[in-house]
Amino acid sequence: MIVQARNVSKTYGSNGHLNKALDNITMTILEGEFVGLMGPSGAGKTSLLNIFSTIDTASSGEIKIMGKDINAMKEAELANFRRHELGFVFQDYHLLDTLSVKDNIVLPLALSGVPVHEIEKRAQEIAHKLDLVDVLSQFPYQISGGQKQRAAVARAMIAKPRLVLADEPTGALDSKAATDVLERLQTLNQTDRATILLVTHDAYAASFCQRIIFMKDGRFDQELDRRGRSRVEFFHVILDMLATLGGNA
């Protein structure tokens, strides 16, 4: 079991001006799952992702990731846990323009003191998987948006994390580049058993997941399981669900 959350709530604000972003969330993510979170803006998707990523803390409830109680960890332990067990992919890439694509990708390993020969080996492996070999020596401003996001995925995966957290990773991409990134994530999930939690507004992106949880007002509203359907079939099931729920997620 990769994620186990029980009765997780998150409240922001003070002095009577309180906003309950998460309301008694309970969920489990198993190793090797590709799970999507959908819902309207303000539903609590990013709040939940931030808590799982240890960027934020819950107001109440229990969260265990890989069996470890993240609420009980000190900051130094959290930083180490983040570096070795979690991978992050954001909508706006978060690549450093002063570093080459390769140096951006291997940065987590370099910060962890991994030997140079192991860094080189892993860089070549992940670059081949994500079709980045030809751009490793270039800088982020020299490559396309799709290549930037694939580089961000490579950086997230190179340390072989147990859990990858992706927040709207295709939101800034055109349809062709988005499909490319989603197919790469799906391949990493299927071949490397990478466990992925994807936040998205997009039904097409969600159709690459195995399971989708719909959120509303800080709670889980509905859940869909792919159950052997093709991606195209699942896409139409998601669209039907969104129509039932009253619009786009």
Question: What would the pLDDT profile of 90-142 be if each residue is shown by its tens digit?
Answer: 888 889 999 999 999 999 999 888 999 999 999 999 999 999 999 999 999 99
Residue 177 pLDDT greater than 70, yes or no? yes
The DSSP code for 78 is: H
Domain architecture of the chain: domains with CATH: 3-245 (3.40.50.300)
Question: Tokens 């000190």 identify what position?
Answer: 74
8 A C-beta contact, residue 127 and residue 101: no
Both tokens of residue 52? 């799982």
pLDDT digits (tens, 9 = 90+) for 204-238: 999 999 999 999 999 999 999 999 899 999 999 99
pLDDT digits (tens, 9 = 90+) for 145-171: 999 999 999 999 999 898 999 999 988
Burial of 230 (0-12, 13-18, 19+ CB in 10 A): exposed
Report the C-alpha gap between 26 and 236 in whole angstroms.
27
Residue 240 pLDDT greater than 70, yes or no? yes
pTM, 2 dp? 0.90
Alpha-carbon distance values, 93 to 20, 108, 146, 208 (Å): 29, 15, 10, 20
8 A C-beta contact, residue 159 and residue 83: yes
pLDDT value of position 112: 87
Which residues are paired to 220 by β-bridges?
215
Mean pLDDT (the chain, rounded):
92
pLDDT value of position 245: 82
Report the C-alpha gap between 146 and 176 in whole angstroms.
8
